[in-house]
Amino acid sequence: MAPDVTTADPADDVKVPAPAGRGRSPFGRFLRWDVLVGVLLVLVFIGGSAGSPGFASIDNLSFALGDLGEIALIALAMTMLVVAAEVDLSVASVLGLSSALVGALWDAGWAIETIIPLVIVVGAVCGLVNGLLVTRLGLPSLAVTIGTLALYRGLAYVVLGDRAIAEFPQQYADLAVGDVPGTPIPYPVMLFVVLAAVTGVVLHATGFGRSLFAIGAQEEAALFAGIRVKRIKLILFVLSGTVAAFAGVVYTLRYGSARADNGVGLELAVIAAVLLGGVDFDGGKGTLGGVIAGVLLIGLLRNLLMLNDVSTEIQSIVTGLLLIISVITPRLVAAAGQRRRSPSPTSSSTPPES
């Protein structure tokens, strides 16, 4: 009989393992990685408020949240991909291709109402190409999306070259940079909140979400349980490309400039946020709440460094360090937990003396 892998609780994510045969203590629950990231987020906010004038002001926090819009949106789709033990490194290049298409078509006299849906469809096609290469040819997603990262960025330069297109319709630019009336919340952040709520329900409260955790935990067992692994992964890649293209539209309107090099390196910030939030790069573990905390932590750190006139190069170094820490630390914690549960040689029974 096939193992029922889909009944695993998706909410039981990255945590310090409790000793065998014992329930999880309140202290153990506190030591869950995503909870620790949330605590670190609070500490960074408190430290930034105390050490940097203006950091905690409404205007600055609104700016910091708005600056996170594209990373936060792409992180939602990336979370589901990584939970299913896949990754898409081409998202920033899809964003750049989307921006280039917006600029080229606008410069050619197309209506923005026609451009936006067309660009989103192109993003879905980019995701479809990634998904087909992974699911139909059996290629590793890491290698595939490194290749399409270069491919899609090259296509962006073919479409727009080194030109910069500006002067987009003001009413659409206002949606990318303006706040929801009566609040300091930017429109892209409000959109993220809505989509995050939907993603959270799908990931943690539906059969589709349980299938993602099952695939990430043990793909072969998921196949035996009747889960359509290839179809689900294909859907995830298409979703990733679609969201990245939409983020490219937001990015273009927010900065008021369409360029082929828009979003270069953004995939590192997205991956760092997802892994920092406690999603296991090997799949099968993670929470959306942890990812949101990771996104906010990276955003606040970037904003704090910017307020202190730290160069973009140093900000990239910090992002890289956070990425390394987010990969290594949970594994060290898990390894330490396994050593604690393993019986030591001295504690094993010794044969009686003759």
- DSSP helix/strand/coil, 221: helix
Mean pLDDT, residues 322-329: 81
281 phi, psi to nearest 5 deg: -65, -25
Q: Residue 269 domain-assigned?
A: no
Flag whether pLDDT at 2 surpasses 70: no
Domain extent at residue 148: 62-262
Rg over alpha carbons for the chain, rounded to the nearest Å, is: 22
Which two three-digit tokens encode residue 251? Answer: 């990015």
Burial class (CB in 10 A: 0-12, 13-18, 19+), 127: buried
Percent of the chain scored above 90 by pLDDT? 60
333 and 33 in contact (C-beta within 8 Å)?
A: yes
Percent of the chain scored above 70 by pLDDT? 86
The band of 21, judged by pLDDT with boundaries at 50, 70 and 90, is: very low
Q: Residue 104 domain-assigned?
A: yes
Better pLDDT: 116 or 52: 116
Q: Residue 312 domain-assigned?
A: no
Q: Mean of the per-residue pLDDT values for the chain?
A: 86
Number of helices (H), then strands (E), belonging to the chain: the values are 15, 0
Q: Residue 268 domain-assigned?
A: no
Q: Residue 172 domain-assigned?
A: yes
pLDDT of residue 38: 86
The band of 6, judged by pLDDT with boundaries at 50, 70 and 90, is: very low
Nearest to 119 by CA among 140, 104, 108: 104
pLDDT of residue 321: 86
Better pLDDT: 352 or 206: 206
Q: Residue 83 domain-assigned?
A: yes
Could you tell me where the DSSP H helices lie in 68-169? 69-83, 91-107, 112-135, 141-160
Please state, in angstroms and rounded to a whole number, the distance separating the CA atoms of residues 343 and 19: 11
The band of 320, judged by pLDDT with boundaries at 50, 70 and 90, is: confident
pLDDT of residue 236: 97
Nearest to 94 by CA among 235, 266, 271: 266
The band of 343, judged by pLDDT with boundaries at 50, 70 and 90, is: low
Please state, in angstroms and rounded to a whole number, the distance separating the CA atoms of residues 55 and 52: 6
Sign for the pseudo-dihedral over CA of 236, 200, 321, 217: negative
User: Based on the structure, what is the number of domains in the chain?
Assistant: 1
Q: Residue 42 domain-assigned?
A: no
Mean pLDDT, residues 87-93: 97
pLDDT of residue 13: 38
pLDDT of residue 314: 85
Please state, in angstroms and rounded to a whole number, the distance separating the CA atoms of residues 14 and 27: 14
Write the single-letter amino acid at 348. S
Q: Residue 281 domain-assigned?
A: no
The band of 353, judged by pLDDT with boundaries at 50, 70 and 90, is: low
Quote the pTM value: 0.85
